[in-house]
Every structure is written in structure tokens, then in C-alpha cells.
Amino acid sequence: MKTKLSEYVKVAEAAEILGVSEGTLRNWSEAGKILMHKNPVNGYRLFKKSELDEFLDAIERTVVLAKIKRPKQ
């Protein structure tokens, strides 16, 4: 099954989805914290929507676990 370009978003939209700045997202992708793809025609950074959702789910799981492990005050 071929992946369609419509399954990807550019940096600005991906940053908005994640609630971070475009610079932060670029830094994360260069550091390997989030998977980035490049458009083979123009070299633009692209982010797959489903991978952004997975990234957000992983963050949510981490936050939930941190709250569980935190000692009660």
C-alpha cells in the first residue's frame, strides 16, 4: 500500500498539533526524538500524522506514569 502525501504535514502544522514551536520541532527531529521524513522532490521536512499521534500518546503515558509514581504529599 502506498503512502499518500496527504498523510503528512509540514513543520508548521506538525508544531501546532504538538503544541510546540517550529524551532523546537526541528530540534527534536534532528536529535532523533521524533521521526521526520523528507519530501524527495523539494527536501521539505514532513511528519506523518499517525506518527505525531503516537508521539502524543507516548507523552501522555509518560505523564500518567509519573503521576502514579510521585509520592503523595
- Kindly report, residue by residue over 10-62, the tens digit of the pLDDT: 999 999 999 999 999 999 999 999 999 999 899 999 999 999 999 999 988 88
Residue 34's domain is classified under what CATH number?
A: 1.10.1660.10
What is the per-residue pLDDT for 69?
74
> Residue 9 in contact with residue 47, Cβ under 8 Å?
yes
Range of the domain at 48: 5-69
Taking the model in full, what pTM does it have? 0.80
Structural domains counted in the chain: 1
Q: Which pairs from 51-54 meet CB under 8 Å and 24+ separation?
A: 52/9, 52/14, 52/17, 52/18
